[in-house]
């Protein structure tokens, strides 16, 4: 296929994609080249905007369309967004943005518009990842046409699964998304029981997201500071952010931070192993999100795989299932392009 066609206004159908978070929105365009067995996706004209600088989603998308001189062209769009997308009315969790999908399509004069959950997008990107866009962390070889699971500690704990389907002779991936990060946390040793009890002191319910997220790292640190030293966070010097905790742990300048990051990796291993059991994820369990790619070597040296594999009589399933960390910088855009194309 002549990719220049996509940049010729007289003939162009523009494939507009977006990854919309609570802080940033990334907009780009996508084209595809089809081979006999593979399809390569090219993502280009990427722009990142701060959401707080725009009063609405319509404003920022309209700004991008104008800046790229796309007005008057046939635009098909797929937007990945960090909130539920089941209803026409979308209200973002961490932004005062609320809009109708149908009205947005009309306001922007789009030929088509589809919204998908951000973790649906990340899951859809996985079959397209090259070896340079992921790092293997133990396990056997990936088995083709077997389910794939993904979880991602970040602002929260996202979860999604891919299952292979054959429709009309065509092999496709179907994404099953949900809110798996909110299932009940299950401690497996005494220190995790103490951490759960500490969090339970100010949370009515402790889910895995209460530990496997940015604020989860902070809560683990606060719990361990209290458990080890009987000390509560009372001063600004004691109150560390998730980034601070990770940095101090990697630099070996804070023993409690190291213990925090180690416990985080252990719990992540147990949770990811649970996903492998639920879906029989012999296609692999992938770790996404903005936290773990910062310390892949630390994860490898932790008990992440031990905890992933230790599942009693069915440990053979988890020992075979490979685990990966996604290092691709724009998996949301790649997944949105995959859904659109």
Annotation: binding site for ATP: 18-23
CA 83 to chain CA mean position, Å: 12
* Farthest-apart Cα atoms in the chain, separation: 70
In the structure encoding, which two tokens stand for residue 315, read together? 């440990």
| Helix-helix angle 214-229:255-279, to 10 degrees | 130
Q: At what angle do helices 214-229 and 190-200 cross, to 10 degrees?
A: 110
- Helix segments in 251-295, DSSP class H: 255-279
Closest CA to 209 of 264, 257, 254, 141: 264
Asked whether 279 and 139 are in contact (CB, 8 A), the reply is: no
Looking at the DSSP bridge assignments, the partners of residue 16 are 29, 77
Q: Are strands 134-136 and 112-117 parallel, antiparallel or unpaired?
A: unpaired
Angstrom distance (rounded) from CA 30 to CA 188? 45
> Do residues 26 and 330 make contact, with C-beta atoms less than 8 angstroms apart?
yes
What is the distance of C-alpha 9 from the center of its chain?
Answer: 34
Binding-site residue positions: 18-23
**How many CA atoms lie less than 13 Å away from 230 in the CB half-sphere?**
0
């Amino acid at each position: 296929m002549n990719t220049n066609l996509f940049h010729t206004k007289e003939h162009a159908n523009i494939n507009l994609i977006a990854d919309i978070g609570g802080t940033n929105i990334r907009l780009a365009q996508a084209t595809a080249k089809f081979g006999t067995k593979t399809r390569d996706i090219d993502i280009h004209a990427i722009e990142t905007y701060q959401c707080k600088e725009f009063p609405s989603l319509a404003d920022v998308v309209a700004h991008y369309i104008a800046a790229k001189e796309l007005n008057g062209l046939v635009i098909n769009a797929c937007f990945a967004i960090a909130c539920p997308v089941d209803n026409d009315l979308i209200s973002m969790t961490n932004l005062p943005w609320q809009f109708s999908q149908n009205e947005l399509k009309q306001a922007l004069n789009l030929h088509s518009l589809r919204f998908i959950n951000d973790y649906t997008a990340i899951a859809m990107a996985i079959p397209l990842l090259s070896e340079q866009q992921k790092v293997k962390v133990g396990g056997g070889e990936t088995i083709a046409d077997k389910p794939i699971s993904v979880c991602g500690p970040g602002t929260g704990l996202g979860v999604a699964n891919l299952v292979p389907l054959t429709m009309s002779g065509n092999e496709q991936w179907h994404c099953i998304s949900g809110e798996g990060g909110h299932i009940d946390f299950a401690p497996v040793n005494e220190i995790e029981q103490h951490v759960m009890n500490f969090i339970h002191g100010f949370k009515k319910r402790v889910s895995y997201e209460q530990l496997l997220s940015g604020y989860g790292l902070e809560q683990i640190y606060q719990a361990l500071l209290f458990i080890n030293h009987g000390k509560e966070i009372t001063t600004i010097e004691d109150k560390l952010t998730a980034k601070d905790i990770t940095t101090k742990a990697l630099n070996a300048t804070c023993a409690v931070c190291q213990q925090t990051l180690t416990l985080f990796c252990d719990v992540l291993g147990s949770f990811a192993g649970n996903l492998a059991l639920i879906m029989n994820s012999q296609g692999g369990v992938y770790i996404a999100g903005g936290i773990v790619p910062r310390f892949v070597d630390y994860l490898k040296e932790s008990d992440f795989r031990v905890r992933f594999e230790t599942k009693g009589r069915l440990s053979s399933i988890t020992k075979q299932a490979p685990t990966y960390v996604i290092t691709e910088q724009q998996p949301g855009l790649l997944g949105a392009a995959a859904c659109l194309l």
